[in-house]
């Protein structure tokens, strides 16, 4: 058993020398042979080497980030080059940090993200699971969302389904913490489950995503809380054509008055705007990032139940 104290930061000091952790991820890093702890807490986000539980070492601090005084969910890509980070307040996007470049340059601190993604700037994304290049997100009022971070500096919304469908700020002004709360992905066959605080449990299939096997993508598969044994060589199913192949994303029928649309899912990253959206000349329907309410549209070739 290891005891990891929350590192001392300016926010740690403002709390009278008291710090706390919120969410964390523990995984094996194949390149270094280390067991690593990725945690969000007072002051920001922190990465530790916990290979020796009696002597954990701080590898990187991500602090002083604009808009971040306390970290929430913090999840790395399988190779540890990038990390997706959440903060728990309205209007906050998911931030993506380029930890790999920082390490390559000999730095052990970061204070700015490489990019950010949000389904709707008025709301808040919550817990998420990374199955590179996809990030599966429980996005509170915006339901279940999927974005593609094949280019981590230009994340692209891939698919979504509105599990919530209720009114904005139903719990009071500036409170958007209702709707899709948690998400998990079964590697062996690609089953996606989402828990919604209002509508209950949902199970999804996404066309083209039949499971995830990091080894087939050139990454080591991280061990997660699901308890997969056998080290990083333990593999599940295979990810089929995440960035190559024919267009495959289909918008499901609307719950409102808008008709279903076909979204041409070109795998080329050309034509992505700086805001992280496909522009019309890239072959995508120029759909809004934030669908209007009421009547938000369930999207993505997602079979829900």
Q: DSSP secondary structure string, 13-47?
A: HHTTS---EEEEEEEEETTTTEEEEEEEEBTEEEE
User: Could you tell me the CA-to-CA distances from 140 to 88, 113, 166, 182 in Å, in that order?
Assistant: 11, 23, 11, 9
Using the predicted structure, report yes or no on whether residue 88 has a pLDDT greater than 80: yes
Whole-angstrom distance between the N-terminal and C-terminal Cα of the chain? 40
61 strand-pairing partners? 46, 109
Question: What is d(CA 99, CA 108) in angstroms, rounded to the nearest whole number?
Answer: 9
288 versus 219: which is more confidently predicted? 219
pLDDT value at 231 more than 50: no
Q: Is 176 left (phi over 0), alpha (psi -120 to 50) or beta?
A: alpha
- Side-chain half-sphere exposure of 41, counting CA atoms within 13 A: 21
| The CATH fold of domain 10-304 | Methylamine Dehydrogenase; Chain H (2.130.10)
* Statement: residue 237 has pLDDT above 90: no
User: Is it the case that residue 255 has pLDDT exceeding 60?
Assistant: no
| Rg of the chain (C-alpha set) | 19
- Which pLDDT band, with edges at 50, 70 and 90, does 30 fall under? confident
∠ at Cα 275 (273, 276), nearest 5°?
A: 70
pLDDT surpasses 70 at 59 = yes
pLDDT for residue 271: 30
**Do the Cβ atoms of 183 and 200 come closer than 8 Å?**
no
Using CA atoms, how far residue 105 sits from 37, 79, 155, in Å, is 21, 17, 24
Whether 30 contacts 20, CB under 8 Å = no
- Look at residue 69 in the predicted model and tell me its pLDDT: 81
Q: What pLDDT score does 215 carry? A: 75
Cα–Cα distance, 215 to 204 (Å, whole number): 24
Cut 0.85: pTM above it = no
């Amino acid at each position: 058993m290891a005891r990891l104290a929350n590192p001392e930061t300016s926010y740690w000091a403002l709390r009278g020398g008291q710090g706390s952790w919120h969410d964390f991820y523990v995984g094996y890093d194949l390149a270094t042979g280390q067991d690593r702890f990725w945690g969000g807490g007072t002051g920001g986000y922190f990465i530790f080497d916990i290979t020796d539980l009696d002597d954990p070492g701080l590898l990187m601090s991500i602090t002083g980030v604009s808009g971040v005084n306390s970290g929430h969910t913090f999840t790395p890509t399988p190779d540890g080059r990038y990390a997706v980070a959440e903060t728990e307040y309205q209007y906050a996007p998911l931030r993506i940090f380029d930890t790999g470049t920082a390490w390559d340059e000999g730095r052990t601190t970061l204070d700015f993200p490489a990019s950010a993604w949000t389904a709707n700037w008025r709301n808040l994304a919550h817990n998420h699971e990374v199955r590179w290049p996809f990030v599966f997100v429980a996005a509170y009022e915006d339901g279940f969302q999927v974005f593609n971070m094949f280019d981590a500096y230009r994340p692209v919304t891939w698919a979504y389904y509105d599990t919530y469908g209720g009114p904005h700020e139903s719990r009071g002004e500036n409170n958007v913490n209702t709707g899709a709360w948690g998400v998990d992905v079964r590697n062996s066959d690609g089953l996606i489950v989402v828990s919604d605080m209002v509508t209950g449990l949902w199970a999804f299939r996404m066309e083209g995503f039949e499971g995830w096997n990091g080894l087939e993508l050139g990454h080591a598969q991280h061990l997660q809380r699901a308890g997969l044994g056998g080290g990083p060589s333990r593999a599940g199913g295979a990810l089929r054509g995440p960035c190559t192949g024919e267009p495959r994303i289909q918008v499901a029928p609307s719950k409102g008055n808008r008709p279903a649309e076909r979204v041409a899912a070109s795998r080329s990253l050309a034509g992505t705007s700086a805001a992280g959206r496909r522009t019309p000349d890239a072959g995508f329907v120029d759909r809004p990032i934030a669908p209007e309410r009421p009547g938000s549209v369930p999207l993505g070739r997602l079979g829900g139940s």
